[in-house]
Amino acid sequence: MEKTLVILKPDAVKRAMVGEIIKRFESVGLKIVASKMLVVNDDLATKHYPKDRKEFITGMGKKTLENYKEMGVNPHDEMGTDDPHKIGLAIREWLVKYITSGPVLAIVLEGPHAVELVRKIVGHTLPLKAAPGTIRGDLAFDSSYLANTVKRAIKNLVHASGSVEEAKFEIALWFKPEDICSYKRVDEDEMIK
Ligand code: ADP
Ligand code: MG
């Protein structure tokens, strides 16, 4: 059993996709054990997307460079550098603006392999690359190219914890232990035993 954090980002809320998205997690068998709607402040956004998490920042930069390469875009023209860490830091600024731009719905989901399962259902970071059947693939079309030309984060509807460690850190950041509920789904035994 694992728990994972999902955030329905401001575009999901504003596009009235909340029901559509939650339905997909419930249908696969995941259990909602906590949820709240809030407008994220800079403090929470900064802690959620920490500047000093080097592999996260550089990872975003690397994904962006791969996307630029495929599209024949020169990173120097777009971002003024080809250093993945510098690109990652610039993206992080846009990300903080994006996540604080309107109400979000934060949810904790529980189930077997919850972290991996949720990532699969959510799909690739870039909606353009996300497979059909995934949330990002079915409900959005954004790309690094579209986003970066107007200097904004990729609108990909949801955040989902990337690993079990990330999930533990993020759940503790967003929820108090007493906010997490415990109950049994009626189909739980049928699906597991
Ligand atoms: P994921 O959300 O799939 O775990 P990351 O953790 O790498 O992806 O990135 C966090 C968020 O940053 C993404 O969901 C997306 O909104 C945004 N993002 C990532 N790469 C870029 C990029 N090249 N340009 C703009 N925004 C980006
Ligand atoms: Mg991530």
Distance 95 CA to ligand 2 centre (A): 11
Residue 132 is assigned to a structural domain of this protein: yes
pLDDT digits over 44-96, tens only?
999 999 999 899 999 999 988 988 898 898 999 888 999 999 999 999 999 99
Band (108; pLDDT cuts 50, 70, 90):
very high
Residue 86 is assigned to a structural domain of this protein: no
What is residue 114's predicted lDDT score, i.e. its pLDDT? Answer: 98
Residue 71 is assigned to a structural domain of this protein: no
CATH of the domain at 28: 3.30.70.141
Distance 188 CA to ligand 1 centre (A): 33
The dihedral region occupied by 97, where left means phi > 0, alpha psi between -120 and 50, and beta the remainder, is: alpha
Number of domains in the chain: 1
Active site residue 85: no
Residue among 85, 87, 63 nearest 75 (CA):
87
Residue 118 is assigned to a structural domain of this protein: yes
pLDDT digits over 138-192, tens only?
999 998 888 988 989 999 999 999 999 999 999 999 999 999 999 999 999 999 9
pLDDT digits over 5-49, tens only?
999 999 999 999 999 999 999 999 999 999 999 999 999 999 999
Residue 13 is assigned to a structural domain of this protein: yes
The two three-digit tokens of residue 187, written as one number: 């189909």
pTM over 0.85: yes
Query: Long-range CB contacts (< 8 A, 24+ apart) of 48-54?
Result: 48/99, 48/170, 48/173, 48/174, 49/92, 49/95, 49/96, 49/99, 51/89, 51/92, 54/85
CA distance 156 to 129: 11
Is residue 10 within 8 A of residue 101, CB to CB? The reply is yes
The SS3 assignment for 187 reads coil
What is residue 145's predicted lDDT score, i.e. its pLDDT? Answer: 80
Ligand 1 neighbours, Cβ below 6 Å, are: 59-60, 63-64, 91, 94-95, 125, 144, 147-148, 153-154, 156, 159, 162
Residue 128 is assigned to a structural domain of this protein: yes
CA distance 151 to 131: 25
Residue 171 is assigned to a structural domain of this protein: yes
**Residue range(s) defining the domain that contains residue 17:** 2-46+103-192
Residue 131 is assigned to a structural domain of this protein: yes
